[in-house]
Structure 1
Amino acid sequence: TMIGLGNVLLQIPIGMISDRVSDRRYLLLVCATVGLIGTAFMPFFAQNWHLMAALLFVWGGVVAAMYTIGLAHLGSQLSGHELASANAAFVLCYGVGMVLGPQAIGIGMDAF
């Protein structure tokens, strides 16, 4: 629930920040870093529901914003036919990652 709320409620503020940043690659790097740090801190916050809920809210919103910021970055760099092709490739890669990522993580967890 908290990940979903963060995803919904943080998209507009993060999108507004994205509109004001000249190079969105740095914002994507910040989002990825927040995602990595949030993942690393989850085990430490698991005993306190309030801290974990806050972490999941921020983590869910920031990690989901990488998709939105990535599309905005494509839109600012390309136009016309190139934009349509890049958008299709972006969505395809995102979809493949959504299908294969959990499988790879599960295999890694089993191996660990």
Structure 2
Amino acid sequence: MKSICMAIAKYLLVVLFMSYYVGGTAFTHTHYFPTYSITHSHPFLPGADGLPHHTHSSTAFNTIQELDDIMLEAAALCFALATAWVLLAVFIQQHKYITPVRLVRNINLRAPPFCIK
């Protein structure tokens, strides 16, 4: 049962990634206003001139802004957590190796016999 769920999840994750990637790259468009412009992406049907002929309410634009902010904050949080994890892994790791100092000290350092005639 677990292997069937893993196989299904594997393909669903590929479909989810592809839809996110295509949705973010193929449907990017800009809404122009007198004092500012908003660029975002979602599936839409372009008009004859290729521009989006749909509108969003101010609530929809606020939702888009909130989602963008959440994604930026999540990316910064992930970066901070990854940095902290690497630093902790470097500085607070247990040394599982033994320095072979005793082996070097026990080597017989006596020279071979020397004969003077």
Q: Which has the higher strand share?
A: 2
Q: Which has the higher contact order (CA 8 A, sep 6+)?
A: 1
Q: Which has the higher helix share?
A: 1
State the TM-score, normalizing by the size of structure 1.
0.30
State the TM-score, normalizing by the size of structure 2.
0.29
